[in-house]
Structure 1
Amino acid sequence: MRSRRGSMSMQVSLRAPLGFFICASAPWIRTMAAMDLVLAAVGWVGAALLLGGYALVTSSRLPGDGVTYQIANLAGSLGLMVNSAYNAAWPSAGLNLIWAGIGAVALVKLARRAREQESPIDILPLVNEGDSHGRP
């Protein structure tokens, strides 16, 4: 609170735990606060996906080369990458970008393997010997 020759100007600022200021005189900062909250949540969800997937693979409840684990890895690393980039934690953002790339490559390989294992339906010829009229 400041006073200037008889008039008072008041600006309220609170230091919030996520490292931003909420100012009563600047409503756009409230939008930044909401963005900080959303991106913090994205980061926490990403961390939970990575740690949860790792815990499930380590406890043999989920195969390490399965689609579920690879999707959890990809989504988790993307969440952490977005959060790290937003907070200018560039080494962490770079690491998670590479981690997401590895997860994407693993998913592509799993999709190719699944496609190769599918046996196409063979259409047997109606006449095994000779031409279409049954002649040898």
Structure 2
Amino acid sequence: MLQPTRTKFRKAHKGRIHGNASRCNVMNYGSFGLKAIQPERVISKQIEAARVALTRHMKRQGRVWTRMFPNIPVSKKPTEVRMGKGKGSPEFWACRVKPGRILFEVDGVSEQIAKEALYKASAKLPIKCKFIKRI
């Protein structure tokens, strides 16, 4: 699973995801892509599951670019622990995704295969996505 090698701070605030994406909102690499429509945190396990579903459907042909990286630590307190006593320890890594962000890009396969593969990948993610192609 993806996670940063080192960070400036061990724990992060939850925060809110406001507005539309200003970066990674234009296709740079592939011919087809998957664009986020909703704001949400995407966990590293979900990114990996989507990537595996994508490459398996494409039968390892073509090329895949992942345009998101989980760099926000999400902390969790253990079950059945009372309130207080500080913040929990970091459990997993997530990526804040704004609407309009390109999540995956694909090239080297036909439009039909890319559409089906990206649809299967979107099923693994907690957000609504749409298929786009380079004009």
Alignment TM-score, normalising by the size of structure 1: 0.25
Larger % of helix: which? 1
Alignment TM-score, normalising by the size of structure 2: 0.25
Structure with more contact order per residue of length (Cα contacts < 8 Å, sep ≥ 6): 2
- Structure index of larger Rg: 1
